[in-house]
Amino acid sequence: MTDLAADAAFRAQESRMRMRHRAQLLWALVVMCVVVSALIWALWVVPVSRSVAAAQPVPLGQTVELPAEGVTGVWASGTAPLLGLVECRAETADGRALGTWSVPSPGWDDTLWWMTHGGGFSPVLSIADAGGAAAFVTCSSQLDAYDGQFLLAGDVTAGGGGVGLGRMGNVDYRTGTLLALGAVGLPLFAFLMTIVLLVQGLRARRSGR
């Protein structure tokens, strides 16, 4: 009987140690989520949002000079962008065409639309770095019956690259999508997991008394 009681006590202690170890790992995961989400917001969300707020919109059809360096995002508002009719051409002063690519979906406009200043502006595409050369972009509507506005602001695609995930790392996920989902999902996960861990800790204390 004594051996059975000792064995039960040992198993109970072992179970508590496993639960404590699991709780420590989950707390570490919460801290990591908070740190990563803080970096995403500080280095990506807030700068992009401020750049949109500071940009000056112009009607579709006009030509605007690109910033001197870095990838530039094109944001548009109006009927033409809503219908997907906006097309842009970017080239340097000597006629060299610059690369453009569309924004990922899901992305900024699906998760962080509430951080976009201005009336109804959404990211439509990104323009490659001009390498310090003078460059210009012209955005227009494919159908003259529909108008709109556009502005040049921060790039939401993080350069248009991707991150290889999956078992063999052979599945590419757009960096802009991962950042947009992380900016919203990581803080929410950390908040909910904190509540769960606190409730579990209170229950463990009560059961241990």
Structure tokens at 59: 């009607």
Helix axes 2-40, 175-208, angle to 10 degrees: 150
Task: From 65, 70, 62, select the one nearest 155 (Cα to Cα).
Answer: 70
CA distance 26 to 30: 6
Q: What is the 3 state secondary structure string of 150-204?
A: EEEECCCCHHHCEEEECCCCCEEEEHHHHHHHHHHHHHHHHHHHHHHHHHHHHHH
CA distance 206 to 191: 23
Q: What is the pLDDT along the chain (209 residues), one digit of tens a residue?
A: 465 555 555 565 555 667 778 888 989 999 999 999 999 999 999 999 999 999 999 999 999 999 867 899 999 999 998 888 999 999 998 889 999 999 988 999 999 999 998 778 999 999 999 888 899 999 999 988 888 999 999 999 988 777 766 555 556 788 999 999 999 999 999 999 999 988 887 877 776 55
- Whole-model pTM: value is 0.82
> What is the reported pLDDT for 173?
80
> What is the reported pLDDT for 5?
55
> What is the reported pLDDT for 70?
86
